[in-house]
Amino acid sequence: MLVKNKVKVEAPLNPEIAGELSSFYKQRPNENFLGLFKTKLFFFNWGSAGKKDNGMKRFFRDKLGEPPIIIDSVYIESTTRSIKSYLKTKGHYYSDVKYDVKKTGKKKGKVIYHIYPGNYYRFGNYEMNIADKDIYDLVLANADNSLIITGKRFDWEVILKEKERIVDLLRNNGYYAFTKDFIEFDTDTALGNWTAYIALNIKNKSDYEPHKKYFINNIIIEVDKNNDDVSKSIKDSVPFKSFTYIPNQYELNPEILSHNLFLQRGDLFKQLNLTRSYGRLSDLNIFKFVNVNADVNDTGIVGKLDFNIRLMPSIKYFYTIEPQAITSDQNNTLTNPGRSYGIAATLQFNNRNVFRNAEIFQLTYRTSFEAQGKVSGGKIFNATQQSLTASIIMPRILFFPFFDRNINFLSTKSTINTSLIYELNVDYQRQVATSGLTYQFNKKLISYYFAPIEFSYIRSTLQSDTLIERAKTDIFLQNFFSNYVIMDSRFGFSLSNKSITKRKSYFFLRWDALEIAGNSLTAINELLNKEKSSNGQYQLLGLNYFQYAKSAIDFRYNTIYDKNKSTACRFFTGIIVPYGNSPIYTPFDKRFFVGGANSLRAWKPRSIGPGSYVSDYQIDHSGDIKIEMNAEYRFNIYNHWLEGVLFSDAGNIWGIKDDKTLPGAEFNINRFYKEIAVDAGVGIRLNFTIIIIRFDLAIPIRDPSFAEPDRWVIKNFTGRWAYDNSYLNFGIGYPF
């Protein structure tokens, strides 16, 4: 029985190439749990044992089990050939692969592949043999962009990418009918010196017929007839700028199509313009499908292309109703930092093309009722939230149309959003009214957002008797739960290489680069020489407003080793700085906290920090600075619907200013690392594809709330201590 495969590289080899060799195994051992227990093999053996057979045994043997993997020389030979072929594509033309089988126990063995890569070839001179003079001049003019570089390791993957680059180059310079079939590469290694000389050959369309350049002739954009609306007569074709528009029954401003069409009559054909036009029209989200056809006219010296673009409208009005059972540990309460449970429902109405400019109007109402902490008085729920949100999503940058014509953007959007929220929980009652404008610019790997203005009005009333009493003397609570306004602007971006990477690792980065609030209001008040209120603050509409700057970075890195094992890591850091009109405090909802199912999993949410500060009378555990690190090792337990995880979390929050009333809470560069909380744990995930249910059990390793010599609480580990200090988290989806 095969228990292990191993690659042993017997001579120097590029680590990246060596890391790929194990992917060519044609035979792999039975799956195992944490490298200790082969669950599928156990089920197979149990179902096969004994002379009698029955339904239960057949179920375990055939459905849950897997027969033992027996070492087969045919698979071994196939593996050696595959490895040698791969090494050849990487320049190791004369590699050798040998193997031996070693016994590791009774009727068990492992296969060791000995790799002798030998020397490798490098790219030598790069010559071009191109029959068409115009194409030769074009390729030569762009030779600096060639991926084949003299002296670099020979790699067939680089040659294939070079072929794709040349095809893209030609198709973006008018050669509509050009394909990769006209390109061949010759390699010559006969001259020695471990150098491969490369020759690029580009053939004519036929023996003496050069490739034609194509120009755009006519463009017709037609919206398919809407059979659901027979009351309107079919409209005639409308000449508009560089295309002919046939709207039929669909009322859409052709200017929107013009903004998103990069094909112009008389222009030289460019593939990038066609690709961007198709993507932009599809991204309007008002059409079921977009069909672009080109009719080729080859009769002249140059070719002509007539484009016919057909658009099928989506349903104009649609509704969604989504009932929910909810559970969360991310509630905003102070005195009940635990998990809440409840029910909710979301109702959404959508109107596509509402103002005939491809806008989408969304009206969303959400209602929820939750049980937070201990519920008394016979009530099932002690908290509720009601919200109504109206949004208009426009496929353009409002007030700045020149951004829409930038071909570097896959899409551009503007969203005007207004919402009303009523929240009642065990601590306070709050009403929030928010309105703002957000711009979004999307590229292939990166998406930018910019919210030039967002205005929020917050009205709060304390509900908890404990908090009401504390607020009489606690300036902190008085500021957090007063009536106030926020006027802010935000900018940031998200970046990921997951969609293009061919490697086992990929990353995601979100940087909320800057959020600033209150600057314009303070500038206006100072310019008008307004008087401050009795508490020394400027006001707007008789209410205090916050002034602050905030930034936060969320970086994630995932590595997939094989279909059964992967790792995921996250690093988060953020800072919010109060100044000006609110030099001490920042809004409660804008502050940072740690703990809970998606953070430090050995602590309840809002139950640790800031810093090493701890008090019997402490209510709030939020801060102005946050540093957090998380790592998970994820593995398959059974059939990929039952997954396991080993994890560890570390981090804390701190205040940005030295508050003498909260000793140890402020961030200090000389000691912050001593105040990092650390936990570890295990978990299981039920992966049903459409939903992932997660259970994580964590225990604290290091607790900064203890005196410094006693912070490594893991040294107190006993069975009873682990039982008393462990915390079970329940969640939906992966934590990061």
268-272, 424-428, 631-635, 713-717: the lowest-pLDDT one: 424-428
The rounded distance, in Å, linking the Cα atoms of 622 and 578 is 14
**Domain extent at residue 308:** 214-313
The rounded distance, in Å, linking the Cα atoms of 557 and 101 is 37
Residue 599 lies in a domain: no
Are 223 and 238 in contact, with CB atoms under 8 Å apart? no
Residues 450 and 334 in one domain: yes
Residues 341 and 402 in one domain: yes
Residues 109 and 183 in one domain: no
Are 340 and 328 in contact, with CB atoms under 8 Å apart? yes
Residue 330 has pLDDT above 60, yes or no: no
Residues 108 and 223 in one domain: no
Q: Which amino acid is residue 3, in one-letter code?
A: V
Residue 328 lies in a domain: yes
pLDDT of residue 464: 82
Torsion (CA) 43, 46, 52, 54 in degrees, nearest 10: -30
Relative to beta strand 428-442, strand 411-424 is antiparallel
pLDDT in tens, 184-232: 999 999 888 999 999 999 999 888 889 999 999 999 999 997 655 444 5
Residue 519 lies in a domain: no
Of 99, 116, 133, the last residue of a domain is 116
Q: Say what the pTM is.
A: 0.87
The rounded distance, in Å, linking the Cα atoms of 736 and 732 is 11
3-state secondary structure of 79: helix
Q: Residue with structure tokens 């030979």? A: 77
Q: Residue with structure tokens 């017709």? A: 220
The rounded distance, in Å, linking the Cα atoms of 528 and 540 is 13
pLDDT band at 377 (very low <50, low <70, confident <90, very high): low
Residues 449 and 378 in one domain: yes
pLDDT of residue 378: 63
pLDDT of residue 535: 82
More confident residue, 468 or 133: 133
**Alpha helix positions (H), 283-319:** none
pLDDT of residue 230: 47
4-18, 466-480, 633-647, 694-708: the lowest-pLDDT one: 466-480
The rounded distance, in Å, linking the Cα atoms of 555 and 544 is 35
pLDDT of residue 374: 66
Q: Which amino acid is residue 200, in one-letter code?
A: L
Residue 209 lies in a domain: no
Of 116, 132, 147, the last residue of a domain is 116
pLDDT of residue 606: 86
3-state secondary structure of 397: coil
Residue 320 lies in a domain: yes
Residues 323 and 441 in one domain: yes
DSSP string of 15-75, one letter each residue: HHHHTTGGGG-SS-PPP-BTTTB-HHHHHHHHHH-SS---HHHHIIIIII--------HHH
The stretch 127-132 carries a mean pLDDT of 94
pLDDT band at 130 (very low <50, low <70, confident <90, very high): very high
For the ranges 259-268, 500-509, 526-535, the one whose mean pLDDT is highest? 259-268
Domain count, the chain: 4
Residues 259 and 344 in one domain: no
Residue 265 is given by DSSP the state T
**Cis ω before 610 (30° cut-off from 0):** yes
For the ranges 27-31, 37-41, 100-104, the one whose mean pLDDT is highest? 100-104
Q: Which amino acid is residue 691, in one-letter code?
A: I
Residue 393 lies in a domain: yes
The rounded distance, in Å, linking the Cα atoms of 97 and 81 is 8
pLDDT in tens, 695-718: 999 999 999 999 988 999 999 999
DSSP string of 561-594, one letter each residue: EETTEEEEEEEEEEEEEE-TTSSS---GGGSB--
Are 587 and 546 in contact, with CB atoms under 8 Å apart? yes
Residues 323 and 465 in one domain: yes
Sign for the CA dihedral angle at 213, 216, 217, 219 comes to: positive
- Residue 271 belongs to a domain with what CATH number? 3.10.20.310
Residue 376 has pLDDT above 80, yes or no: no
pLDDT of residue 335: 67
pLDDT band at 31 (very low <50, low <70, confident <90, very high): confident
Residues 412 and 460 in one domain: yes
Residues 137 and 112 in one domain: no
Residue 74 lies in a domain: yes
pLDDT band at 337 (very low <50, low <70, confident <90, very high): low
pLDDT in tens, 543-594: 999 999 999 999 999 999 888 889 999 999 999 999 999 998 899 889 999 9
The stretch 321-328 carries a mean pLDDT of 82
Residue 520 has pLDDT above 80, yes or no: yes
Residue 261 is given by DSSP the state -
Residues 292 and 320 in one domain: no
- CA 573 and chain centroid, separation: 17
Are 568 and 693 in contact, with CB atoms under 8 Å apart? no
What tokens were used for 405?
Answer: 């014509």
Mean pLDDT score of the chain: 91
Of 473, 499, 516, the last residue of a domain is 473
The rounded distance, in Å, linking the Cα atoms of 405 and 648 is 47
What tokens were used for 121?
Answer: 């070839």
Phi first, then psi, for residue 77 (nearest 5°) are -65, -40
- Residue 180 belongs to a domain with what CATH number? 3.10.20
Compute CA distances 278 → 235, 253, 283, 492, whole Å.
24, 18, 9, 27
3-state secondary structure of 415: strand
pLDDT of residue 398: 94
pLDDT in tens, 60-72: 888 888 899 999 9
The stretch 470-491 carries a mean pLDDT of 84
Residues 324 and 451 in one domain: yes
pLDDT in tens, 285-307: 999 999 999 999 988 889 999 99
Q: Which amino acid is residue 558, in one-letter code?
A: N
- 80-87 contact pairs (CB < 8 A, 24+): 80/113, 82/24, 82/26, 83/21, 83/24, 83/113, 83/115, 86/20, 86/21, 86/24, 87/17, 87/115, 87/117
Residue 250 has pLDDT above 50, yes or no: yes
Residue 452 lies in a domain: yes
The stretch 411-438 carries a mean pLDDT of 94
pLDDT of residue 297: 92
Q: Which amino acid is residue 653, in one-letter code?
A: I
pLDDT band at 391 (very low <50, low <70, confident <90, very high): very high
pLDDT band at 329 (very low <50, low <70, confident <90, very high): low
171-180, 202-211, 253-262, 264-273: the lowest-pLDDT one: 202-211
Burial tier of 472 (Cβ tally within 10 Å: 0-12, 13-18, 19+): exposed
Residue by residue, what is the 3-state secondary structure of 319-332? Answer: EEEEEEEEEECCCC
Burial tier of 32 (Cβ tally within 10 Å: 0-12, 13-18, 19+): middle
